[in-house]
Amino acid sequence: MTNPLLDTSSLPRFGDIDPDQVMPALNELLAAHRQTLSHLLEDYDDPCFESLVVPLEAMGHTLSRVWSPISHMQSVKGSPEWRAAYEKALPVLTEYGTELSQNEQLQQAFVRVDEKLGDTADCAQRSMVQQALRDFRLAGVDLEPGAKARFKDIMQELAAVQSRFSNNVQDASDAWSLVITDEGELAGLSEQVIERAGAQASEPGTWKLTLDFPTYHAVLTHAEHRPLREALYKAWSTRASDHGDPAYDNSENIQTILKLRAEKAKIVGFNNYSEYSLARKMADTPEQVIEFLRHLAESCKEAAQREIDELTEQAGGPIAAWDVSYELERLKQNRFAVSNEALRSYFPVDKVIDGLFDLASRLYGLKLSRREDIDTWHDDVLFYDVSDEGGDPIGGFYADLFARSGKRTGAWIDECVCRKRLGGDESLPVGYLVCNFTPRDANGRSFLTHEEIVTLFHEFGHMLHHLLTTIDYPSISGINGVPWDAVELPSQFMENFAWSYDVLERCSEHRETGQRLPRDLFKRLDDSRHAGAALAMLRQIEFALFDFRLHTEFEGDDFDVLALLDEVRDEVAMVSHPEYNRMPHAFAHIFAGGYAAGYYSYKWAEVLAADAFAAFEEAGIFDAQTAARFRTEILEIGGSRDFMEAYVAFRGREPSIDALLRQSGIEAA
């Protein structure tokens, strides 16, 4: 019987695949690919785009389709077997990828193809070949054998230690819990949160709080009992550190990751990992990034100081890190008479999804419909087909929206299938959209806070970027080949629509009355939008500046990561953190994800997104021509064009930070 992981004739057969099939599938596929590559390079003396690049694209697409469910299942299943299979497969896949990118004969074949294409070639073909040549260089294809072998070893070691970092964060989160025996300590929490805590407890009359994000966020924002907020804050901010179970401590992993990255960058001729990282981004130099972050920070500091002064006055004294979200929520209630929990009652998740799909229809003419006959990995997971206004299929996506034990925290999208049209062979894009919202209650209902709606819109923006591409080559279709500091533009852009009454009204239906969101309540929400905006901006700048300075300044020999964090906080933070805070130990974005020396991308993309949305505000936020231009110039192009050129084609000029400052209620310094 054929290994179901190798069946790429349909969507993944989640009901049939199991961890034991992972290594046989990869070994068989990679052996076939190595043989195919050998045959392709027999025509090494006279390669062309069709004879070399197109078959390689097809191979990469097949490998992506086989690997996608493997990677996905270890993130969402919480199964030791899937994790073990993933960790066993990762070095095999890493070795194959490095082997390709260090193949000198293959690189020279691409050089010949590039020469043949010339300046008049198809833009997408040129971009794909030039990105491939860049990646050969970044992988050390020209290195002498010893250095090349060391680079290969570094890639293997990094893959393993980054996976270990991520696992430690998840395991430390899953291992922690707090049992409450006095219901009075839960004052301020919603009925939904308390009901779930009671259901998780083993003894009647007790409540068990865990470190899933919905619970953590609810406690920090709404719990009146200050010691409870501090307990959750301490547990969250010390995850996977020297303040917890030594088995999950990421201290050594952080040093190893930084050391390996620095060595990797220097082997191929860069001074530090930040320079290496920028080779695939819009920014040119580390100095440019740091100047951007510091300029943005200076523009926010005066407003942030006013905000912290207001919160301190309201609290009647100095506030700690575990008080900020709570006092901000009180401020919104006191000044604007708006409560996140009161708003939550208006937003059942199914109605929010309906409103989101309605927005996609209004902007881009899309039709989204639920499909019942698709195999999934959990009963909560839904699948949606996406078609254009004429009914022609565009693609589809899975939606896995609710938190559960073992599932990776946070929210993200990933590729299941990339768009491909090669030699008459066609695949439409399919993705995974994953969040961690509060699970459905006993009545099958889940209600979202406005912040969670913003998160859902953000991830859906990424999904549209994946689905709406018109590029036929998988390596540069959708989000592939897009500069990392531009890839957040479509997602940040979509967040703006979660602040439109016309959109939110269509997402709402009160849990008891069925009433739509009243306009006066929306106005109070909108008036509260800027509450804490400058503090939130500085918090993200803190993360970004720490990440970038860390990867620029790291020198090895037990570099003091926490001392650097203190320096960054002294420069830009308005909120002090206790000595025990170990933020880096759970900073998976940079130590286990794709944001190393790139976390600034969120702020740069916010600049792009605010500036882009300003074009919609000028024309009307549902203006068909503006939406069509955004779709054509931004969402459809993948990595086929220079991104700044594409942005200028949409906006008519380069972006400015002014729109972001205005949108955040902050005047430029």
Number of other residues whose CB lies within 10 A of the CB of residue 383: 18
Closest CA to 643 of 114, 117, 287, 123: 123
Write out the two tokens for 564: 């650097």
Nearest 5°: CA angle at 548, between 543 and 554? 120
Q: Read off φ and ψ for residue 325, nearest 5 degrees.
A: -60, -40
Backbone angles phi and psi of 142, in degrees to 5: -95, 5
Residue 368: strand pairing partners: 386
| CA-based end-to-end distance of the chain | 67
Q: Tell me the catalytic residues.
A: 459
Nearest-CA neighbor of 529 among 454, 447, 618, 599? 454
Residue where the block lists tokens 């073909």: 125
Query: How far is residue 328's CA from residue 222's CA, in Å, rounded to a whole number?
Result: 10
User: H helices then E strands: how many in the chain?
Assistant: 26, 9
Strand, helix or coil at 431? strand
Q: How far apart are CA 477 and CA 484, in angstroms?
A: 14
* DSSP codes of every residue in 82-140: HHHHHHHHHHHHHHHHHHHHT-HHHHHHHHHHHHHH-TTS-HHHHHHHHHHHHHHHHTT
Tokens representing residue 52 in the block: 């070399």
Per-residue tokens: 234: 């301490």
Burial letters 78-91, b for 16+ CB under 10 A, else e: beeebbebbeebbe
Of 355, 300, 336, the C-alpha closest to 662 is 300
Amino acid at 51: S
Give the total residue count for the chain.
669
- DSSP letter (8 states) at residue 377: S
**CA atoms of 569 and 561, how far apart (whole Å):** 12
- Positive or negative, the CA dihedral 618, 623, 627, 629 is negative
Nearest-CA neighbor of 475 among 96, 28, 59? 59
Q: Cα(486)–Cα(551) distance, rounded to whole angstroms?
A: 20
CB of 186 within 8 A of CB of 207?
Answer: yes
In 468-595, alpha helices (H): 489-495, 501-506, 519-527, 533-553, 561-572, 588-591
Q: Quick check: 330 and 314 in contact, CB under 8 A?
A: yes
